[in-house]
């Protein structure tokens, strides 16, 4: 994959550098943020004028994303007790714990994410991100188990990607991709997204038959769609998916279309950072 850079003027009057990646396996462009830099991935052969046109169309989006990241640029090291961490439809706050805990955990009643006192910065920030990823995976696999029992649908592979252009997708080969930026949303909304993508295994479009199938399993799905229209911000240090992208070990046998009979899988064992 070849790459280069381009510069675009955003609405606040400043210039923003964008990384351009040419991907031989891509058939359409994707604009995303990787750490602190916008990245435009385009098919091999895309001309410079086409790239400039894409960036021009999305300059306001780039400007908004830059402003959001600058406003949320505090880290755990800055003000540990004052930082708001959105997760699963609630707001949590980090708290140093002296209760001899060895790993990040949570007090859901007080909405506190407890960080061992022995973990310093910046390791505590990374530890919180990994904990949220593990909880996120638990929600996803829980939803997959429920919908598998109700629909019989299951993906071949499951990926989590740091994509803002879409919440989820299902490839023709049955690979499910979910956006990392769903983690601040409620479990109920994530539950709907998983169903939505699983139904695409039968209906590849958004036909009336597709929506009828979704509604037959989730009559209140419209409420989840409303929540998705309200962006939930989060600190910049939390926005980046650990490792850039991750894969979930599928907890059933795709080839046979039924669950494995092996013992339970720990959340940390389900995650493969890519």
Three-state secondary structure along 25-68?
A: CCCCCEEEEECCEEEEEEECCCCHHHHHHHHHHCHHHHHHHHHH
Residue 15 or 197, more confident = 197
Give the pLDDT score at 249. Answer: 67
Give the confidence band of 82 by pLDDT, cuts at 50, 70, 90.
low
DSSP conformational letter for 250: P
Class of residue 89 by CB neighbours under 10 A (exposed 0-12, middle 13-18, buried 19+): middle
Give the confidence band of 251 by pLDDT, cuts at 50, 70, 90.
low
> Residue 169 is encoded by which pair of tokens?
């997708």
Residue 151 or 121, more confident = 151
Q: What is the distance between the alpha carbons of residues 250 and 198, in angstroms, rounded to a whole number? A: 14
Give the confidence band of 122 by pLDDT, cuts at 50, 70, 90.
low
Specify the length of the chain in residues. Answer: 274
Give the pLDDT score at 209. Answer: 96
Closest CA to 17 of 28, 30, 3: 3
8 Å CB contact between 238 and 132: yes
Pair type for strands 271-273 and 245-248? antiparallel
Residue 54 CB coordination number (10 Å): 19
Q: What is the distance between the alpha carbons of residues 141 and 136, in angstroms, rounded to a whole number? A: 9
Model confidence pLDDT, tens digit, residues 208-238:
999 999 999 999 999 999 988 876 777 777 7
Asked if the model's pLDDT at residue 203 lies above 60, the reply is yes
Share of the chain above pLDDT 90, in %: 32
Model confidence pLDDT, tens digit, residues 103-116:
888 888 999 888 88
Asked if the model's pLDDT at residue 98 lies above 80, the reply is no
Residue 18, by phi and psi: left (phi above 0), alpha (psi -120 to 50) or beta?
beta
Give the confidence band of 259 by pLDDT, cuts at 50, 70, 90.
very low
Q: What are the extents of the domains in the chain?
A: 2-71, 85-129, 134-273
Half-sphere exposure of 57 (CA within 13 A, CB side): 10
Place of tokens 């039968």: 202
Give the pLDDT score at 199. Answer: 96
Q: Which CATH class, in words, describes the domain spanning 134-273?
A: alpha beta
């Amino acid at each position: 994959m070849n790459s280069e850079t381009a510069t675009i003027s955003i609405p606040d009057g400043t210039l923003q550098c964008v990384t351009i990646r040419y991907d031989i396996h891509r058939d359409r462009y994707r604009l995303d943020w990787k750490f602190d830099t916008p990245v435009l991935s385009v098919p091999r052969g895309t001309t410079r004028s086409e790239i400039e046109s894409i960036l021009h169309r999305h300059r306001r989006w780039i400007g908004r994303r830059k402003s959001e990241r600058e406003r949320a640029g505090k880290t755990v090291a800055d003000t540990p007790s004052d930082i708001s961490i959105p997760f699963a439809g609630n707001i949590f706050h980090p708290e140093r714990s002296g209760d001899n805990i060895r790993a990040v955990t949570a007090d859901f009643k007080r909405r506190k994410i407890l960080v061992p006192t022995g973990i310093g910065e910046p390791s505590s920030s990374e530890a919180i991100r990994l904990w949220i990823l593990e909880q996120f995976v638990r929600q996803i696999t829980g939803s997959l188990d429920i919908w598998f029992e109700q629909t019989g649908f299951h993906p071949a592979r499951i990926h989590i990607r740091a994509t803002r252009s879409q919440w989820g997708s299902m490839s023709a080969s049955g690979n499910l991709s979910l956006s990392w930026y769903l983690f601040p949303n409620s479990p109920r909304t994530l539950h709907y997204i998983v169903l939505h993508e699983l139904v695409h295994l039968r209906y590849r479009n958004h036909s009336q038959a597709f929506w009828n199938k979704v509604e037959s399993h989730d009559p209140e799905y419209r409420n989840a769609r409303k929540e998705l229209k309200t962006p939930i911000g989060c600190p910049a240090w939390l926005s980046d998916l650990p490792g850039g992208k991750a894969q979930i070990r599928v907890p059933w046998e795709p080839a046979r279309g039924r669950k494995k009979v092996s013992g339970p899988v720990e959340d940390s064992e389900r995650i493969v950072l890519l």
